[in-house]
Structure 1
Amino acid sequence: MAEASETIIRRKLSHEVFDRLKAMITGGELAPGDAMPSERDLMDRFGVGRPAIREAMQALANMGLITISHGERARVRRLTARSIFQQVDLTANLLLSASPDSLEHLKQARRFFERGMVREAALRATPEDIARLRGTLDQQATAVDAPETFIAADIRFHTQIAAISGNPIFEAVSEAMLGWLRQYHREILRWKGKENLTLIEHAQILRHIERHEPDEAEAALVQHLDRSSVLYMHAG
């Protein structure tokens, strides 16, 4: 019986540098906000050339562990739920642009997710939460003739509902999904040419949240998302 291969694979220097730099960050030698050592210091410390350092630093940046700014020292990034999701923005957008099915799957995921979020909001909302949502709805009402501003307020309204949970991961998930969907918003549906139907639906959702009515809030949200789902589609 042939023995399994035990061939040792020689790793690239940049991979070794990456592992050591990552250990410096995860081990606490470098804290969020700290400047990374200079390229020269790292070259001397690890005994490698500049290309290996730069490749490792770029890999750290791609993972969201550090921020690289032109003309300044790279700095360790403070990780948050939001920053983690931002790292998959490009991949998510590529997937969505390549597949109509993926867009439908995202809309379904949003529907499932927001049903839970609006129920939680109806159970937990404070007067401050209600005032924040009402302020966003008022801002949206003044932007019916400014589509980009209107859609931004729409996203903020839904993200604020998720934020009522008190869980930053829920808020980050909401922000990420809505951001990915935004580029597929094709039109703003107007009601009787004067008042946007979205505003009416948002007001209904808000009313049920304020009254702490989770079943009614969920039903209003589902109606809103099912109606507005057709507004998100691939071009062509």
Structure 2
Amino acid sequence: MLRPVEKQRVAEEIVEQLRELILTGRYEPGAKLPPERELSKRLGVNRASLREALKKLEHLGLVRIRQGDGTRVQNFMETGGIELVSYLLPLAPTSHPDLIRDTLEFRRIFGREVARLAAQRARAEDIARVRVAAERAEGDVSKSELFDIDFEFYVALTACTGNQVMGLLINTVRDAVRSYTPVLTQLTTPAEAVRAHHRALLAAIEAHDVERAAHIADEYLGRGAERVLSLMASGQLPPPEVRSNGSGRTDIASALAVEEA
């Protein structure tokens, strides 16, 4: 039996539930959602809230809304953007097992090129910001704090590049990685190794040694990726918790009888 969603966040809840159903492959590309009037009735929501939710899903590249054709599920690998990574990572162990590997690969490539550009372009004030980020790791910090500090160190490095797109990308990656933080915190490199890495990379940036900076970042991020992948292969890496809103995801799933193209 259907239960109504919370009135104060109707559109958001519809988005969350439909997004997960699409990203997990429950509704495949080309599938057609029921007509707006019928769907709103099934879900027990007003059409304005449903329309708002569908527009948000369209903005994410998950559905396409066309007059006369209704709402169809899109192939998000062709129409979606990097912001979907933050929603896909919690689903990775069961629905997208290669995504963790792909994320680590991207982080290594991205971090290496960020270090290279930072060494080439960093100004005195940029280097000062990186130094402050590195000094945060020198104190007595917990594993979770060290994980955050290490990531913020690379955020500071990215600012050194002066590249706005890189800045926006690392913001998105940071949001995505946060969904995996409880797991990754367990894998944090020993504190002294993190500190040594920060000192070495900071020295390379200060010296504007482009190739050394790139090598230091690549080696460090590569070791981290290998550790995570090794634990995954041996079944020692636990999956992150998938958010639950407690309002009956299966209810919306049962309300949606999709039609194939």
User: Smaller-chain TM-score range?
Assistant: 0.5 to 0.7
Which amino acid is the alignment partner of residue 212 of structure 1?
A: H
CA offsets 1:62-118 (integer angstroms, 9 cap, x no match): 5679xxxxxxxxxxxxxxxxxx75455213432356444321222111111222111
CA distance in 1, matches of 2:92, 2:223: 24
> How far is the alpha carbon of 1:141 from its aligned partner?
1.7
CA distance in 1, matches of 2:95, 2:144: 24
CA distance in 2, matches of 1:64, 1:99: 22
> How far is the alpha carbon of 1:120 from its aligned partner?
0.8
Establish whether residue 213 from structure 1 lines up as the match of residue 209 from structure 2: yes
Match of 1:104 among 90, 101, 104: 101
CA offsets 1:160-192 (integer angstroms, 9 cap, x no match): 2122222332122223334434524133333xx
Aligned partner of 1:36 in structure 2 is none
Kept in 1: contact 2:112–2:218 (CA 8 A)? yes
CA distance in 1, matches of 2:98, 2:115: 26
Kept in 2: contact 1:120–1:165 (CA 8 A)? yes
Aligned partner of 2:189 in structure 1 is 189
Alignment length (residue pairs) = 171
Change (3 A) 1:223 1:13: closer
CA offsets 1:22-78 (integer angstroms, 9 cap, x no match): xxxxxxxxxxxxxxxxxxxxxxxxxxxx7221111223445679xxxxxxxxxxxxx
CA distance in 2, matches of 1:104, 1:87: 16
Aligned partner of 2:46 in structure 1 is 51
Contiguous gaps of at least 5 residues in structure 2: 1-31, 38-44, 61-80, 239-261
Which amino acid is the alignment partner of residue 164 of structure 1?
A: C
Q: Secondary structure at the match of 2:162?
A: coil
Q: 1:143-162, aligned counterparts within 5 Å?
A: 143-144=140-141, 146-162=142-158
**TM-score, L = length of structure 2:** 0.56
**TM-score, L = length of structure 1:** 0.61
> How far is the alpha carbon of 1:217 from its aligned partner?
0.4
Establish whether residue 142 from structure 1 lines up as the match of residue 139 from structure 2: yes
CA offsets 1:6-30 (integer angstroms, 9 cap, x no match): xxx9x9457xxxxxxxxxxxxxxxx
Change (3 A) 1:115 1:102: same
Q: Secondary structure at the match of 1:105?
A: helix
Q: 1:30-109, aligned counterparts within 5 Å?
A: 51-62=46-57, 85-86=82-83, 88-95=85-92, 98-109=95-106
Kept in 1: contact 2:155–2:170 (CA 8 A)? yes
Contiguous gaps of at least 5 residues in structure 1: 1-8, 15-49, 66-83
Q: Secondary structure at the match of 1:164?
A: helix
Aligned partner of 1:163 in structure 2 is 159
